[in-house]
Amino acid sequence: MGNPEKLFCAQTFPYRPDVKVVGYTTLPLDVQVSGTYQFTQGVNILAPWTATNAALTAAGSTLGRPLVSTSKTFNLIEPGAVYGDNLNQLDLRASKRFKMNRVTFKVDADVYNVFNSNWIYRQNTTFSLASTSAWLKPIDVLQGRLFKIGGQFSF
């Protein structure tokens, strides 16, 4: 069989479904409502493991020599084979414009991440046998639900 690492040299990943939908409408009393929905596939989960010679010979080597010079990195999960949770995010905005003569004042109310998703978009993918292993520990997650009020004054 040859070197299995060559299997991962030319990587072709499957179709990645990313969808964004934007829409708006005007309600009675001249209130504008808009929203953005986003669907993104989860992050690619990897497990590169750096094996030391001591870890590789723990089961007992009969070669009479070290298996590797100092350490060797192995991919335990094939790249592109396992993905994390998908993102489903909805952001909404309601706006009302007030006009008096030549002066315009606009009030906006925004709600981001309506579903309050804690989607992981970056995580530690380095595998370790240590009890302090941080494999799959989130590094960055989507910010929680956020409400914002803003305004614009034009003259």
The number of domains in the chain is: 1
Q: Which two tokens stand for residue 14?
A: 């499957």
pTM for the full predicted model: 0.73
Question: Which residues lie closer than 8 Å to 111 by C-beta, 6 or more apart?
Answer: 91, 92, 93, 145, 146, 147, 148
Contact 51, 71 (CB under 8 A): yes
pLDDT in tens, 71-112: 778 888 888 888 889 999 999 999 999 999 999 999 999 999
Q: Which two tokens stand for residue 13?
A: 């990943």
pLDDT in tens, 137-155: 999 999 999 999 999 999 8
The pLDDT score that the predictor gives to residue 3 is 56
The pLDDT score that the predictor gives to residue 65 is 65
How far is residue 118's CA from residue 146's CA, in Å, rounded to a whole number?
A: 12
Q: Mean pLDDT, to the nearest integer, of 5-15?
A: 65
Task: Tell me the torsion sign for CA atoms 73, 74, 77, 78.
Answer: positive
Amino acid identity of residue 154, one-letter, is S
The domain of 107 spans: 4-154
